[in-house]
Amino acid sequence: MSSPLYTLFDPIRKPLSPRQSVVLVFFCTLIGAAAQILMKFGANRLPGDITHPAEIILAVVANLYLLGGVSLYGVFTFLLILALRDGELSLLYPVIGLNYVWVTLLSLAIFRETMNPFKALGVTAIVCGVVVLGKGARE
């Protein structure tokens, strides 16, 4: 019973192995990317003709996409703290760079952005970097 999923159900008593911490941050970046996409959806739906601060606050609070995005950031932060509890900060923090990978790939599908060699190489380099960090965690 050492799968990362299991530890999510009993996160307090059971310390995470270095590798589980990396996997947890991996999940965090997926949640973070989903949050960013929701925020983008929400921002696109904000009316452009409001200027009064109270109106803006009301529009933001009434926007389900933005609320969903903020809530996901809350989940992201909680899971990150859980991973950091047992893992090394210097190893786990750069893994958050995967966020760029998910946002680039999701933007292709959702916002119809185009792929090009630079993006493809960049995504590959970040994935390589995370793999290297993951190898470091196994030592």
Q: Is 10 in the site for other proteins (CB under 8 A)?
A: no
Q: What is the SS3 assignment for 47?
A: coil
Closest CA to 78 of 22, 132, 24, 138: 24
Measured between alpha carbons, how far is 14 from 138 in angstroms, rounded to an integer?
19
Measured between alpha carbons, how far is 37 from 30 in angstroms, rounded to an integer?
11
Q: Is 54 in the site for other proteins (CB under 8 A)?
A: no
| For other proteins, the closer CB: 66 or 82 | 82
64-103 mask for other proteins (x: CB under 8 A)? -------------xx-xxx-xx--xxxx-xx--x--xx--
Contact set with other proteins (CB under 8 A) = 11-12, 77-78, 80-82, 84-85, 88-91, 93-94, 97, 100-101, 104, 116-130, 132-133, 135-136, 139
